[in-house]
């Protein structure tokens, strides 16, 4: 193995040095610690001991040359060993520079539009500007009692109080003689007497209310959703699945999984079933492109997670098809937790090939989820509910049973799949769940 | 076969001096190889430091050292591995967790207090520890070291004065290596011996040959016992020579001649100790080789250990600002 | 509740802590037999002896340095600097050693000590018996800086400072030593470090201050109340670490802030408070943040008309309140 000889940093503020004399020539052998060359800086003159034993294979910096600290001066190794070509000198980072943390400004610039030129409102202080925006106040209507007629916070508060008192006064209905008829002059008599008087409604007021600016996340969700609708031909097909075996399996394995550090949720089962179905129907694990249908070699499963009021995010389990139920459970726990605490890395929300969304957590039975572009389909999981179902016994007799049931809503892109293919895929998901064994 | 020290102790003293020397030399090499940023050497001071360590009750007495005290630290139980962590700024450095430059010692388990870079601040800390010991009626002793340049600081006088007035159990050691970086003793003080300053403060001042480990030991032992008996402080001057430049950044050729350095190298404390022990029959060539081999192994192990140790997380720089944050650290 | 002076409250605090914890001792110039030049330690030498109340040499640097050494060994020293004007020789020990000891040893060594000093002018002391020095130290992470304004807080804060495991600077407004009297609760009580107090509630503006100017601020608030201006007064009590919540909550309510201190204006601690308000309360401000402080001259002069020109008082504060309220 070859060893670099580097220009050391010979002093706290020294950044470069000059090679004054090579004490060994190329091809000579050298011992570790033996004096190899002499260098000089403006603070120190010194001998550099060899960092290794071997042959001096190559001298890169000749005598009389000045280089930066950290520059590779020479290579030592066994005779005939190859030296890395174009090797970038590794400057020794003897000081770590603190990373500058970008400041997140919480302050929004809410400058109020200059009101009509009839009145100069004078200096607007930050709190006045903020409150005016929040309450949709036209500052030209506000009387100022501050210095030079300036509008103070108190003035605003007084104005708001007064405005509140005025609002309940209902807008007077327009008198009937001022409302138009439909413009027809001579109508059949029977219609004249059969027809009720035209309804009078007050002209609409401009909408008032509280304006909440959009967060970055909300804007992103809005754009993605509308773009998805404009891209794919969304069709949803719904089937139901009997989760008896899943429930039994889960109950039997809860504590065992917990001991292994994984909270076993139903999501893990839906994930496993979806993966099995994707393996059986690879056309679904695809993306529509102008050139053709791109089928993805690996299954990267996205699990939609809510981040509270702010919105939702879809962390992706890469290579989900290589994970066991335990592995899936672990991955789901981890990503969900980190989604909640906003600790996901950018890589972890990209590259998905199929998505599952648990819309049932709020009680929803079935839904028409929107495809997560550029995927082919999305599986919605409704609420798991005990329902009465009709089962056949071995004699072909019908009986009633109470089973934990769930509706699975698959929205698919009809550009890629027809109903039959989509149903086959969904049926596979159902079949996998109903016959679950890990 | 020295009258006061058992043979085993003498051999251990030599061993520690040797280990310190080889570790020190390796640190210089690491710097010249561009692997560490800074080193400040104890070469030439080993005998004085081992004598200090041997004269106190290690693990019982308290120590307020300064940056050149590598041999003293090793004698107190500081390990070569720990030194490498500090040199390389790695996580787990017991002195500061990577916050201080190397050789800014702190080792609570050995009663070594943390010191800084403004010189002589430890002198009044030592007096304060001595005061606390005396208030509690205990028989511990505090030793503190400074270079002779530091005795020009007001800090030094105030600390020694306090101890003198209150008769505190402190030994103030001045390690006079003739140079405060480039400024020679004659430009630092008007007295011939740094120990003479003690007279002005009402204390005994004793100069010792700091290159001779036994001569230094005898002076130290007496000063420590005096303090322990409640007879008050002593100022001990160890006359040594700084064979290396001040630190890895210094070029000493601008302020002293090579002849002077060569002259003082004739009194290398390691050689003096070795010759003494050879004469006593305690050191043979094979024993010396055994020690050298062991030192090499420990040094190599320490370098490998330091190189493979992780750096602290950058976020560790945020604490501990207050004592309340210590559990986090 | 009994009513006592500020200096008596301080003395009581030290008496109680000496009795309670044998690790506590007092060291400083003239603290022993003389009982302190302001009598802050009166009677303590007789009560506790020369091992608990120690007369030091005339050497501020080592009063603090020795205190640090003793604290490292496990004691709890109360170091007295006779006048804050003389703390400067000890700056090296306070800033380079005490403040940094815990951090630089990665938490292995801590310095549980209190450094007390009388500060401020208005007592005919001239340049070297009147200085305010809190800004130098409130700038240093690792230190705590406490300034009481009344006897009840003074006693509780000093007791809390003695028990705090960090180095605490405790600056006492010397003009108020005998001038400021107040009720002090009976029995054992502490006032926590790091918490400000709203000493007067109001809607029209927030006045933030500490120490001697708090006393004048309350007087000024009374004066302007008669004119219909209601001032909310905040006594900071601890400068480092500062209680941001209390300050911000008040300014968000009143939308106007006036900061008052005796120390010179430029770089005085009020600048830090103003910066905090500008950063975190910008959208709630209805007026510029105002400071009323000592003028930027090297120190308080001796001759009393010149001294009075320098010193804040109730009238000057009232005028500043009126100006801010009218904006």
Highest mean pLDDT among A171-175, A316-320, B89-93, B166-170: B166-170
**Which residue from A minimizes the CA distance to B36?**
A94
Q: What is the mean pLDDT of residues A342-352?
A: 84
Choice between B78 and A309, residue whose per-residue pLDDT is larger: B78
pLDDT of A190 > 70? The answer is no
Q: What is the mean pLDDT of residues A91-113?
A: 38
A41 close to A12: Cβ distance less than 8 angstroms = no
Q: What is the pLDDT of residue C161?
A: 98
**CATH class (in words) of the domain with range A218-434:** alpha beta
In percent, the amount of chain C with pLDDT more than 70 equals 100
Chain A: closest CA distance from residue B168 (Å): 40
Using a CB–CB cutoff of 8 Å, tell me whether A107 touches chain C: yes
| Cβ contacts of B38 on chain A, cutoff 8 Å | 12
SS3 C294: strand
Please provide the distance, in angstroms rounded to a whole number, between the alpha carbons at the two ends of chain C: 42
pLDDT tens-digit series, residues A357-383: 999 988 999 999 999 999 999 999 999
Which of these ranges, A390-394, A405-409, B216-220, C117-121, has the smallest mean pLDDT? A390-394
A401 close to A388: Cβ distance less than 8 angstroms = yes
pLDDT tens-digit series, residues C135-147: 999 999 999 999 9
Q: Using CA atoms, how far apart are residues A83 and B241, in angstroms rounded to an integer?
A: 45
Which of these ranges, A112-126, A166-180, B52-66, has the smallest mean pLDDT? A166-180
Q: Using CA atoms, how far apart are residues B170 and B144, in angstroms rounded to an integer?
A: 8
Element (H, E) at C170: strand C168-173
**CATH class (in words) of the domain with range C197-326:** alpha beta
Q: What is the pLDDT of residue A198?
A: 53
The first and second tokens of residue C109, run together, are: 């060594």
pLDDT of A104 > 90? The answer is no
Q: What is the mean pLDDT of residues C187-201?
A: 97
Closest listed residue to residue C35, CA positions, set C68, C10, C62: C10
Q: Where are the domains of chain B?
A: 7-180+187-242
Q: How sure is the predictor about A14, in pLDDT bands with cuts at 50, 70 and 90?
A: low
DSSP A230-264: HHS-EEEEEEEEE-HHHHHHHHHHHHHHHHTT---
Q: Using CA atoms, how far apart are residues C211 and A57, in angstroms rounded to an integer?
A: 74
Q: Where are the domains of chain A?
A: 3-77, 123-161+183-211, 218-434
Neighbours of chain B (3+ CB pairs under 8 A): A, C
Q: Where are the domains of chain C?
A: 3-183, 197-326
Q: What is the pLDDT of residue C124?
A: 86
Do A153 and C326 count as a contact with CB atoms less than 8 A apart?
A: no
Q: What is the pLDDT of residue B262?
A: 92
Q: Using CA atoms, how far apart are residues C312 and C300, in angstroms rounded to an integer?
A: 11
Phi, psi torsion values for C235, nearest 5 degrees: -95, 110
Using a CB–CB cutoff of 8 Å, tell me whether B37 touches chain A: yes
Using a CB–CB cutoff of 8 Å, tell me whether B187 touches chain C: no
Phi, psi torsion values for B154, nearest 5 degrees: -55, -35
Choice between C269 and A115, residue whose per-residue pLDDT is larger: C269
The first and second tokens of residue A320, run together, are: 């989900």
Q: What is the pLDDT of residue A91?
A: 40
SS3 C286: coil
C6 close to C150: Cβ distance less than 8 angstroms = yes
pLDDT tens-digit series, residues C79-102: 999 999 999 999 999 999 999 999
pLDDT tens-digit series, residues B106-145: 999 999 999 999 899 999 999 999 999 999 999 999 999 9
Question: Closest partner residue to A44 among B29, B34, B251, by Cβ?
Answer: B251
pLDDT tens-digit series, residues B303-320: 999 999 999 988 888 889
Is CATH 3.40.50.970 what the domain over B7-180+187-242 is classified as, yes or no?
yes
Selected residue of A132, A133, A152 to mutate for chain C interface (largest C Cβ count, 10 A): A152
Q: What is the pLDDT of residue A405?
A: 96
| Cβ contacts of A125 on chain C, cutoff 8 Å | 255, 285-287
Q: Using CA atoms, how far apart are residues B42 and A140, in angstroms rounded to an integer?
A: 79
Q: What is the pLDDT of residue A427?
A: 97
Q: Using CA atoms, how far apart are residues C322 and C327, in angstroms rounded to an integer?
A: 9
Mean pLDDT for chain B overall: 94
Which of these ranges, A27-31, A319-323, A366-370, A391-395, has the smallest mean pLDDT? A391-395
Q: What is the pLDDT of residue A11?
A: 61
pLDDT of B16 > 60? The answer is yes
Residues listed for chain B: 329
Q: Using CA atoms, how far apart are residues B329 and B318, in angstroms rounded to an integer?
A: 10
Q: How sure is the predictor about C164, in pLDDT bands with cuts at 50, 70 and 90?
A: very high
Chain B: closest CA distance from residue C307 (Å): 34
Q: Using CA atoms, how far apart are residues B322 and B319, in angstroms rounded to an integer?
A: 8
Do B248 and A9 count as a contact with CB atoms less than 8 A apart?
A: no
Mean pLDDT for chain C overall: 96
Q: Which ranges of chain B does DSSP label H, i.e. alpha helix?
A: 7-32, 46-55, 70-75, 80-88, 121-135, 154-165, 197-200, 213-228, 258-265, 269-279, 285-308
pTM above 0.80, yes or no: no
Chain centroid offset of residue A72 CA: 43
Q: Using CA atoms, how far apart are residues C190 and C158, in angstroms rounded to an integer?
A: 8
In percent, the amount of chain C with pLDDT more than 90 equals 93
Phi, psi torsion values for A283, nearest 5 degrees: -60, -25
Distances (CA, A) of B190 to A235, B160, B172, B185, C156: 99, 19, 19, 9, 52
Q: What is the pLDDT of residue A207?
A: 65
Q: Is A414 an active-site residue?
A: yes
B185 close to B250: Cβ distance less than 8 angstroms = no
Residues listed for chain C: 327
CATH architecture assignment, domain C3-183:
3-Layer(aba) Sandwich (3.40)
Q: Is B242 an active-site residue?
A: yes
pLDDT tens-digit series, residues C250-274: 999 999 999 999 999 999 999 999 9
Q: Which residues of B179-217 are buried (b: 16+ CB within 10 A; e: fewer)?
A: bbeeeebeebbeeebbbebbeebebbbbbbbbbbbbbbb
Q: What is the pLDDT of residue C232?
A: 98
- What's the DSSP call for residue A360? G
Closest listed residue to residue A243, CA positions, set A260, A265, A263, A262: A265
Neighbours of chain A (3+ CB pairs under 8 A): B, C
SS3 C48: helix
pLDDT of A105 > 80? The answer is no
The domain A123-161+183-211 is placed in CATH, from the list 3.10.450.630, 1.10.10.10, 3.30.1280.10, 4.10.320.10, at: 4.10.320.10
pLDDT tens-digit series, residues B242-296: 999 998 888 888 888 999 999 999 999 999 999 999 999 999 999 999 999 999 9
Q: What is the pLDDT of residue C317?
A: 98
Please give the positions of C annotated as active site.
Answer: 129
Question: Closest partner residue to B38 among A12, A43, A47, by Cβ?
Answer: A12
Selected residue of C106, C160, C163, C165 to mutate for chain B interface (largest B Cβ count, 10 A): C106
pLDDT of B1 > 90? The answer is no
Q: What is the pLDDT of residue B45?
A: 97
The first and second tokens of residue B174, run together, are: 């001045």
Residues whose CB falls within 8 Å of the CB of residue B172, separated by 6 or more in sequence, listed in order: B123, B126, B144, B146, B159, B160, B163, B198, B233, B234, B235, B236
**Which residue from A minimizes the CA distance to C285?**
A127
The domain A3-77 is placed in CATH, from the list 3.30.1490.20, 2.40.50.140, 2.40.50.100, 1.20.1440.120, at: 2.40.50.100
Sole residue written with tokens 């000081």: A95
Sole residue written with tokens 């003074």: C154
pLDDT of A175 > 60? The answer is no
| Helix-then-strand count for chain B, H and E | 11, 7
Selected residue of C108, C143, C193, C238 to mutate for chain B interface (largest B Cβ count, 10 A): C108
Chain C: closest CA distance from residue B295 (Å): 29
Mean pLDDT for chain A overall: 82
| Cβ contacts of C100 on chain B, cutoff 8 Å | 116
Angle C203-C204-C209 from CA coordinates, rounded to 5°? 95
pLDDT tens-digit series, residues A22-80: 999 999 999 988 899 998 876 567 788 898 899 999 999 999 888 888 889 999 999 88
A285: number of Cβ within 10 Å: 26
The first and second tokens of residue A118, run together, are: 């009839």
**Which residue from B minimizes the CA distance to A32?**
B29
SS3 A408: strand
A3-77 and A218-434: identical CATH topology? no
Angle C167-C173-C175 from CA coordinates, rounded to 5°? 155
């Amino acid at each position: 193995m070859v060893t670099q000889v580097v220009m050391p940093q010979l002093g706290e503020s020294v950044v470069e040095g000059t090679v004054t004399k090579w004490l060994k020539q190329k091809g000579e052998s050298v011992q570790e610690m033996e004096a190899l060359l002499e260098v000089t800086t403006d603070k120190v003159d010194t001998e550099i001991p060899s960092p290794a034993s071997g042959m001096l294979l190559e001298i890169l910096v000749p005598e009389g040359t000045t280089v930066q600290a950290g520059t590779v001066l020479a290579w030592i190794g066994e005779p005939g060993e190859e030296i890395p070509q174009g090797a970038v000198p590794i400057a020794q980072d003897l000081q770590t520079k603190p990373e500058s943390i970008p400041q997140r400004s919480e302050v929004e610039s809410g400058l109020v539009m200059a009101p009509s030129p009839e009145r100069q409102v004078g200096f607007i202080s930050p709190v006045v500007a903020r409150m005016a925006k929040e309450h949709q106040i036209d500052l030209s209507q506000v009387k100022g009692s501050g210095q030079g007629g300036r509008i103070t916070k108190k003035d605003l508060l007084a104005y708001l109080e007064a405005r509140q008192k005025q609002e309940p006064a209902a807008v007077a209905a327009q008198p009937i003689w001022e409302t138009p008829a439909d413009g027809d002059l001579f109508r059949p008599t029977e219609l004249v007497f059969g027809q009720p008087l035209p309804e009078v409604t007050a002209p609409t007021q401009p909408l008032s209310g509280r304006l909440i600016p959009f967060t970055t996340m909300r804007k992103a969700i809005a754009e993605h959703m509308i773009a998805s609708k404009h891209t794919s031909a969304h069709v949803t097909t719904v089937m139901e699945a009997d989760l008896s075996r899943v429930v039994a399996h889960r109950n039997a394995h809860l504590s065992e999984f917990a001991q292994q550090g994984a909270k076993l949720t139903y999501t893990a089962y839906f994930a496993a079933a979806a993966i099995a179905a994707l393996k059986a129907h690879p056309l679904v694990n695809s993306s529509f492109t102008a050139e053709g249908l791109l089928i993805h070699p690996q299954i990267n499963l996205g699990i939609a997670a809510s981040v509270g009021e702010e919105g939702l995010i879809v962390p992706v389990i890469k290579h989900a098809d290589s994970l066991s139920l335990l592995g899936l459970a672990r991955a789901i726990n981890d990503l969900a937790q980190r989604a909640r605490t906003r600790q996901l890395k950018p890589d972890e929300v990209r590259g998905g090939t199929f998505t599952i969304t648990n819309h049932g957590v709020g009680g929803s039975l079935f839904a028409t989820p929107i495809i997560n572009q550029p995927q082919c389909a999305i599986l919605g999981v409704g609420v798991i509910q005990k329902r009465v179902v009709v089962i056949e016994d071995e004699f072909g007799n019908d009986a009633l049973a109470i089973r934990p049931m769930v509706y699975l809503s698959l929205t698919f892109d009809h550009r890629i799949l027809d109903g039959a293919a989509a149903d086959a895929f969904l049926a596979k998901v159902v079949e996998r769940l109903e016959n679950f064994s890990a | 076969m020295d009258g006061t020290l058992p043979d085993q102790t003498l051999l251990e003293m030599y061993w520690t001096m040797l280990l310190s020397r080889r570790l020190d030399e390796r640190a210089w090499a690491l710097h010249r190889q561009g692997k560490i940023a800074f080193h400040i050497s104890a070469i030439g001071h080993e005998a004085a430091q081992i004598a200090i360590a041997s004269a106190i009750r290690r693990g019982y007495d308290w120590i307020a050292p300064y940056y050149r005290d590598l041999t003293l630290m090793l004698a107190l139980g500081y390990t070569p591995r720990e030194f490498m962590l500090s040199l390389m700024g790695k996580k787990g450095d017991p002195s500061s967790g990577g916050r201080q430059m190397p050789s800014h010692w702190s080792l609570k388990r050995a009663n070594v207090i943390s010191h800084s870079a403004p010189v002589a601040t430890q002198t009044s800390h030592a007096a304060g520890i001595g005061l606390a010991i005396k208030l509690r009626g205990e028989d511990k002793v505090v030793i503190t070291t400074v270079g002779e340049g530091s005795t020009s600081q007001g800090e030094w006088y105030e600390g020694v004065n306090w101890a003198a007035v209150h008769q505190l159990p402190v030994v103030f050691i001045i390690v006079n290596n003739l140079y405060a970086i480039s400024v020679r003793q004659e430009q630092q003080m008007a007295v011939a011996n740094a120990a003479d300053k003690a007279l002005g403060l009402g204390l005994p001042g004793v100069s010792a040959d700091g290159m001779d480990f036994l001569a230094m030991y005898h002076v130290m032992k007496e000063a420590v016992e005096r303090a322990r008996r409640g007879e008050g402080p002593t100022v001990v001057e160890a006359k040594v020579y700084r064979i290396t430049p001040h630190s890895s950044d210094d070029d000493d050729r601008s302020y002293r001649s090579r002849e002077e350095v060569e002259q003082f190298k004739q009194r290398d404390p390691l050689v003096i100790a070795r010759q003494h022990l050879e004469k006593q029959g305690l050191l043979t060539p094979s024993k010396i080789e055994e020690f050298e081999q062991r030192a090499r192994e420990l040094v190599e192990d320490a370098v490998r250990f330091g190189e493979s140790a992780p750096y602290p997380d950058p976020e560790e720089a945020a604490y501990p600002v207050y004592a309340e944050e210590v559990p986090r650290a | 509740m009994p009513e006592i002076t500020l200096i008596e409250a301080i003395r009581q605090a030290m008496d109680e802590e000496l009795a309670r914890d044998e690790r506590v001792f007092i060291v400083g110039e003239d603290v022993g037999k003389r009982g302190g030049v302001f009598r802050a330690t009166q009677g303590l030498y007789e009560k506790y002896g020369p091992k608990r109340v120690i007369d030091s040499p005339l050497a501020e640097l080592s009063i603090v340095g020795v205190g640090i050494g003793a604290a490292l060994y496990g004691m709890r020293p109360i170091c007295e600097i006779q006048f804050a004007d003389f703390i400067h020789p000890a700056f090296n020990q306070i800033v380079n050693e005490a403040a940094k000891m815990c951090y630089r040893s990665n938490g292995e060594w801590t310095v549980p000590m209190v450094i007390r000093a009388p500060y401020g002018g208005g007592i005919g002391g001239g340049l070297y018996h009147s200085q305010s020095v809190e800004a130098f130290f409130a700038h240093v992470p690792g230190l705590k800086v406490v300034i009481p304004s009344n006897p009840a807080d003074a006693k509780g804060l000093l007791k809390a400072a003695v028990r705090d495991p960090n180095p605490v600077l405790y600056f006492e407004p010397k003009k108020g030593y005998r001038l400021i009297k107040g009720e002090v609760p009976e029995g054992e009580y502490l006032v926590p470090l790091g918490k400000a107090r709203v000493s007067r509630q109001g809607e029209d503006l927030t006045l933030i201050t500490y120490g001697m100017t708090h006393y004048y601020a309350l007087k000024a608030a009374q004066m302007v109340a008669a004119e219909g201006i209601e001032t909310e007064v905040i006594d900071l009590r601890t400068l480092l670490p500062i209680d941001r919540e209390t300050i911000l909550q008040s300014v968000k309510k009143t939308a106007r802030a006036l900061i008052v201190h005796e120390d010179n204006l430029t770089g005085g601690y009020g600048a830090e408070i103003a910066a905090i308000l500008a950063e975190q309360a910008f959208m709630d401000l209805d007026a510029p943040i105002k400071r009323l402080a000592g003028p930027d001259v090297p120190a308080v002069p001796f001759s009393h008309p010149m001294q009075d020109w320098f010193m804040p008082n109730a009238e000057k504060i009232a005028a500043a309140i009126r100006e801010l309220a009218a904006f």
